[in-house]
């Protein structure tokens, strides 16, 4: 193998490592912002590691998919207003549209005070849903 080929491989590997590190740092920042948002309501407990989420009575109402994309469950009228106001879409997870969840734009994730209003609505809405039994670990 020539030295030129080895140098190209090293540069490519370094770029891949830098890209992965940047992505991981961004995900860490989003988890920290998510935790800051959840902390605005003492009664809400964050669950999950790879996909942090919140739930009440067994009904999930927020999720941070892959520690990168935040979805918030909103009642129909508020969901329509949110989609229009922020020019976003319904949340898509693993190829399926989560019809009651809005995808929170990255710029809004950093605005805890503004986003806390929607967290409150989501928490209240999830509390009105029929309780689901939770699965206990053995």
Q: Could you tell me the residue ranges of all domains in the chain? A: 3-128
Q: Which residue has the tokens 């469950």?
A: 73
Confidence tier at 20 by pLDDT (50, 70, 90): very low
Distance CA(20)–CA(128), nearest Å, equals: 41
Distance CA(26)–CA(114), nearest Å, equals: 21
Beta strand 69-73 with 53-56 is: unpaired
pLDDT in tens, 32-64: 999 999 999 999 999 998 899 999 999 999 999
Confidence tier at 100 by pLDDT (50, 70, 90): very high
The overall pTM is greater than 0.75: yes
48, two tokens = 């999950």
Architecture of domain 3-128: 2-Layer Sandwich (3.30)
Distance CA(31)–CA(9), nearest Å, equals: 33
């Amino acid at each position: 193998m020539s030295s030129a080929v080895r140098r190209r491989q090293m540069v490519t590997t370094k770029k891949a490592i830098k890209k992965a590190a940047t992505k991981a740092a961004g995900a860490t920042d989003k988890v920290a912002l998510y935790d800051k948002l959840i902390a605005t309501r003492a009664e809400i407990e964050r669950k999950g590691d790879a996909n942090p989420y919140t739930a009440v009575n067994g009904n999930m109402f927020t999720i941070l998919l892959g520690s990168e994309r935040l979805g918030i469950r909103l009642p129909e009228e508020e969901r329509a207003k949110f989609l229009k106001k922020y020019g976003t879409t319904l949340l898509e997870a693993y190829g399926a549209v989560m019809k009651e969840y809005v995808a929170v734009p990255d710029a809004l994730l950093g605005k805890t005070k503004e986003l806390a209003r929607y967290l409150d609505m989501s928490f209240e809405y999830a509390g009105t849903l029929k309780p689901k039994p939770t699965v206990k670990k053995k």
